Chains A and B, each alone.
Chain A
């Protein structure tokens, strides 16, 4: 991973993830229509839009869970459009899920250890045989898993089964599992969904600390407060098309965005 100096963070220029005229169609329905995005190294990039705007489809195409109809996705200057999700994860592209996807029977520790597995040098056979190198690696993995669990603040619940954790904690487990893969880019799919204000605040803290580790973050979000508070730049999708891109104040002031996203509520309220 690249170490980022302070001036690089203030004026990021190099692109880590690019979506180039990306189109995803399901039969006749065009969910994402020729969307181009450039996520720069070290920034928190927000992807917002009203329900059904194509955010999650866009997200799934970037992480390899949906195959795009046309267009390209570049990650660290490599074309990853056709790569399966597990290969993307190995390249340093990690994600969480909007509707949590955890291993219900496992403890927090077991779950995060799974996240550590892909980056290992010792293969499954060496691990089964318990070679010296595999055992050394096992120990390093355990320590790293603990660190990530402590990072999201769950070290007291490390041996608790995930199914016994409250919702907000499960989100953290997912984030810790993603961080354990040692990613350079972390994509969070609506992390604040279903959270109460307290949990939402805690989550913002976690996102800030991830950013301090010089990770690049893509945040798909619904909560305006989360997006405006934490993102460096924001792209707005509406009906599968990008209608705006810029820093939070620009987005807030953009008439198209107000029309498509924020304005709707106002209009509805005015009518009522």
Chain B
């Protein structure tokens, strides 16, 4: 077959990348500005954190950022790769303890501890996912297996006293120090969390807008079909699981050094279910949705404090309404920043 001539390099991946300016015409378009929403949301929250001095609001902003990272990780596993993981709290916990132990017992600088907090859950996640995937655990069976792993992780946190302090937990975890600056106040801590979140968002958006992410979606939709065209489905699934675990670990580290006190009770299955709820409310496979889902589930319980008797009832009823009326998530089919490959014609206009 005859190949058309190579298009010039400035048109590279034109439709694969989010950009406010169309690469072909240089024209500014509102619709492509919406493509920046994944980054604009955290920047807006950072602006809010600058404007307020109220510790309570700053606390909500920080917890939102941490839960957003946790939920984005779960989104890669459940939303993109289609693997039902119900033990995400385990990786969140491994990240939190690994980071605290690295800083307190081995004097690792914070950035190193943050890396360890990603690598430890990554390795555990990979070691777990390989047998799970090989044994063809899928759907609710994978859900049960990962849930079981979450319970085991909880027991490890509670019983490995020499490392985790057992049920007494770990106290006085120091604030992160990066290049000599100590992130001890809430406001700078919010900036730190949002900075990490922005990097995580960039990674996830890049993943979903390039072919490896597309392959994940294909594997999710039909494993056999994907393998029939030469896709090593197992490797992609294992990698996605590991990536989700690493993001959970990063969230755990940011949590540990913010709360400064770790107890096994912080990492029960409640957290796994909370992250899952944030994901479902925001919409599976929707990047901005994860941010919105995390925001709603951080704010909602606080907003409902005004009606103490009805709080849990209202909360439950809202979740049920969501599941019934908006099963695809609160944003529906709006997937800002996500640009699946589309054919836009040959990239060079051919002249006669």
Contact = CB atoms under 8 A, between A and B. Distances in A.
A86 B225 CA distance: 10
Interface string A155-191: 0001100000000000000000110110000000000
Nearest to B9: A135
B178 interface: no
A94 B230 CA distance: 9
A86 B233 contact: yes
A180 B229 contact: yes
Given A109-B343, A114-B218, A143-B4, A138 B229 contact: no
Interface residues of A, number: 51
Contacts of B347: 139, 142
A141 B229 CA distance: 14
A111 B221 CA distance: 11
A73 interface: no
Contact of B214 (A110, A147, A158, A181): A110
B345 to A, nearest CB: 9
Contacts of B6: 136, 139
Contacts of B239: 124
B18 to A, nearest CB: 13
B217 A103 contact: yes
Contact of A113 (B1, B214, B222): B214
Nearest to A181: B229
B342 A114 contact: no
A106 B230 CA distance: 18
A267 interface: no
Given A102-B222, A113-B214, A138-B211, A85 B340 contact: no
A41 interface: no
B228 A89 contact: yes
B215 interface: yes
Interface string B165-178: 00000000000000
Nearest to A101: B225
Interface stretch (A12-20, A45-53, A115-123, A237-245): A115-123
B210 A130 contact: yes
A107 B339 CA distance: 12
Interface in B44-74: none
Which of A130, A139, A146, A177 neighbours the largest number of chain B CB atoms within 10 Å of its CB? A139
A104 B207 CA distance: 20
Contacts of B211: 113, 117, 124, 127, 138, 141
A158 to B, nearest CB: 5
Contacts of B230: 86-87, 89-90, 117-119, 181
Chain A to chain B: the 5 pairs with minimum beta-carbon distance, closest first: A118-B230, A89-B230, A101-B225, A103-B221, A124-B212
Interface of A: 63, 65, 84-87, 89-90, 94-95, 97, 101-107, 109-111, 113-115, 117-119, 124, 127-128, 130, 135-136, 138-147, 149, 158-159, 177-178, 180-181, 213
Given A90-B230, A128-B212, 13 more contacts: A86-B233, A89-B229, A94-B228, A97-B228, A102-B222, A106-B218, A106-B221, A114-B218, A124-B236, A143-B4, A145-B343, A158-B343, A159-B343
Interface of B: 1, 3-4, 6-7, 9, 12-13, 16, 206-207, 210-212, 214-215, 217-218, 221-222, 224-233, 236, 239, 340-343, 346-347
20 contacts: A86-B228, A90-B230, A102-B222, A103-B222, A105-B221, A110-B342, A111-B218, A113-B211, A113-B341, A114-B231, A118-B230, A118-B231, A124-B211, A124-B212, A135-B12, A139-B7, A142-B343, A146-B346, A147-B1, A158-B343
